[in-house]
Amino acid sequence: MSTRFRRLLPTVSLIFLVLVAACGRAEPSVSPSPSAVPASAPSLAASGAASAPADGGSADTQTDTEWGRIWDGVPAGFPRFPGSIVADGATPEPVSATYSVANDDTAVIATWMQTALENASFRTEALSGPLEDGSFVLDSVGAGECRVQVAVEPMGGLTFVTVRYGAACPAG
């Protein structure tokens, strides 16, 4: 990625977020290969997670990604950093949810997410970071084959929290 593009990316991202906020909630983007999942799947809220309701993609479809199969949304009880706002479309990659935080302390946000997920019965498998760009990656596991990855990445005064909520995890 060119240096010029890297310098412009935070500004473009901020303009995009302001436009999304001004126009209302953006429609979720079309996922490459979603498939319907029965509505009878258990909810994360039943596992004891407490947080603000999640917004974003559909909680009843899944997408295949390089990371693995994910839900196209997170359950309403999924932990969300206080003050974060939905940032649909902030990444071209398929993800379960993306939030922006007006705080560039990635270590604080990553540690908060780790604690919140552990309180929601997810075990921390790894917390990597700070990486070269100041980001952190949190890998957590839940019951059975449930895997969750949370990336916390600084972008010029904002921080983006990107969630990949594995298909083996309870639906919302």
In a domain, 48, yes or no: yes
Q: How many domains does the chain have?
A: 1
Residue type at 19 in one-letter notation? L
Asked whether the bond before 130 is cis by omega within 30 degrees of 0, the reply is: yes
In a domain, 161, yes or no: yes
In a domain, 54, yes or no: yes
39 alpha carbon, distance to own chain's centre: 22
pLDDT, tens digit (0-9, with 9 covering 90-100), for 86-120: 998 788 899 999 999 998 899 999 999 999 999 99
In a domain, 171, yes or no: no
Residue type at 37 in one-letter notation? V
Q: For the residues 137-150, what does the mean pLDDT come to?
A: 97
Which residue range forms the structural domain that includes residue 20? 3-165
In a domain, 170, yes or no: no
pLDDT, tens digit (0-9, with 9 covering 90-100), for 75-89: 999 999 999 999 987
